[in-house]
Chains A and B, each alone.
Chain A
Amino acid sequence: MTAHSFERNASLRSWLLVEAPQSGFQAWMQSFYLAWLRLAANPLAVIGVVVLLGIGLVALMAPWIATHSPFDQVLADRLQRPSAAHWLGTDELGRDVFSRIVYGARTTLYIVGLVAVIVGPIGLCIGATAGYLGGWVEAVLMRITDIFLSFPSLILALAFVSALGPSLDNAIIAIALSSWPGIARLARAETLTIRSSDYVDAVRVMGASTPRIIFKHVMPMCLPSVVVRVTLSMASVALTAAGLGFLGLGAQPPTPEWGAMLSTARQYLLEHWYLAAMPGLAILTVSLAFNLFGDGLRDMLNPRS
């Protein structure tokens, strides 16, 4: 590292740590930097972040990383053992397993990402609204939440997918449908402690409207625990997605999907164990990484605990 770039790094650091920020943007960046420092102090969380970023990168760069097309069937080369040509061997239709796992990362991240984007805001809105308004609004919203919560998530997803037909999008809707209630409950519980606080009374004394109080003052306080909860539940979402794929109710062939790959590999388990082991390992890695990252986030966002 040259002296010049070192100097620039030092000034960036002091910009991030100065006691009196000059702008709102700087204050924001400072709180992000401090949060990052707390996260970086937790090695397991850093491993989780690195693994997730790695999987994201693999999904993004799949066409360049994969050695073969994930769809090309070469029946002459079926069920080959790992070799230089096929790093993780080939499946029962002669497709390259390594390439299918690389492309499968796209499917998994697509499901996980979309579920997070659907579930987080819905749960947060319903929970915060119910918690802040109370009364009959809370009763109605929370009873609806309870109804969804009372279904076992995989069973609900199974019923939904079999009613609407198996496809990736239906699997996403089904998983989202069964995972928002937990987040709504959490957001409501957080809101109950926030709504009677002085800083909320202070904005009421300003004459702020109820939606403004909920969105601008209550939700930012619920956000950390919701983010942690969503991240941790992403692990189980990845598993549910793989489970639906395994049962043939998620991504449809020939889309490369880890659960579906596992399901077909099951028939060849005795002679070709690696065929099932590799997608299984991928599923394990993703859900472990989400768990580690979620734990780290929880420590980072609640410095008290």
Chain B
Amino acid sequence: MIEVSHLRVAFGAGENQSVAVDDVSFSIPEATVYGLVGESGCGKTTILRCLAGLNRQWSGTIRIAGKTVGPVRDLAFYRMAQMVFQDPYGSLHPRHTVNTILSEPLVVHGIAGIGPRVSRVLAQVGLGESYRYRYPHQLSGGQRQRVAIARALILEPRILFLDEPTSALDVSVQAEVLNLLRDIQVEQGLTCVLVSHDLPVVANLCNRLAVMNQGKLIEELGVADLMSARAHSGYTQRLIAASAGYDRTLVGLDVD
């Protein structure tokens, strides 16, 4: 469904140039969830933004649903691939009601039957009609993220890009949103790319994952390997150990 080869993203020019993503290749089969894991600033979100068409300065090849896509995408692409952002407090327009937020994609794509479709998607993410005319500031973080997921789902996409969809939420709400995402993914057979630094979240949702560090893809592994800590590279092993809890002996090892 998604094939990326030799993707490279660099910001700035000349001496100040910093390479955010360096020669990354991977491919994701249909209806699977693929995780991109790594510490802050390793380039995982940049890859996601390139895939979603938000970042337009990259080189390499991206093939989505069998077609090579360029930096600028058309409406058909956006109808097929949608994105959920990290911070539900920032990703909903503060002066639009839930109804306006959810209608907007349908208006942009000229899809009829807005009213019933909004009701259906609200029910799908577990929010009732009573939330329809509220403003984002009247909702909790978890409810906002449900609205953001509903907005991504309303175009009935085949691909969902998830940018740390739970990291801004309370622990108790994280599980709810994760379950919702997994149910929807299974039900609709969506292909998902999940960016996260939270290994339990990745283990919960993903089929396969890629570990990244300083813009490079270190290794790919299955979820079973992650669960049993069977990683080949030293970096991945340290990442897994670090997520288990703080350990003083790891501190010195982290310097490569």
Contacts and interface: CB of A to CB of B under 8 A. Distances in A.
Interface of A: 19-24, 26-27, 31, 197-199, 201-209, 212, 216-217, 220-221
B104 A204 contact: no
Given A202-B83, A202-B85, A21 B90 contact: no
B67 interface: no
A208 B104 contact: yes
Contacts of B105: 206
A24 B151 contact: no
Given A27-B97, A199-B91, A199-B93, 14 more contacts: A19-B134, A19-B138, A20-B131, A27-B133, A198-B86, A199-B90, A199-B94, A201-B54, A201-B85, A202-B83, A206-B155, A207-B75, A207-B77, A207-B79
Interface of B: 52-54, 73-75, 77-79, 82-83, 85-87, 90-97, 99-100, 104-105, 108-109, 130-131, 133-135, 138, 148, 151, 155
Contact of B85 (A19, A26, A198, A220): A198
A205 B135 contact: no
Given A199-B91, A207-B73, A26 B138 contact: no
* B interface, over-half SS: loop
Contacts of A207: 73-75, 77-79, 108-109
Nearest to A20: B130
B54 A198 contact: no
Contacts of A216: 104
B107 to A, nearest CB: 9
A172 B65 CA distance: 59
B186 to A, nearest CB: 23
A19 B131 CA distance: 9
Nearest to A19: B138
A274 to B, nearest CB: 49
A31 B53 contact: no
A21 B133 contact: yes
Given A203-B104, A205-B83, A206-B104, A197 B134 contact: no
Contacts of A199: 90-94
Contacts of A203: 104, 108
B134 A198 contact: no
Contacts of B87: 198
A206 B85 contact: no
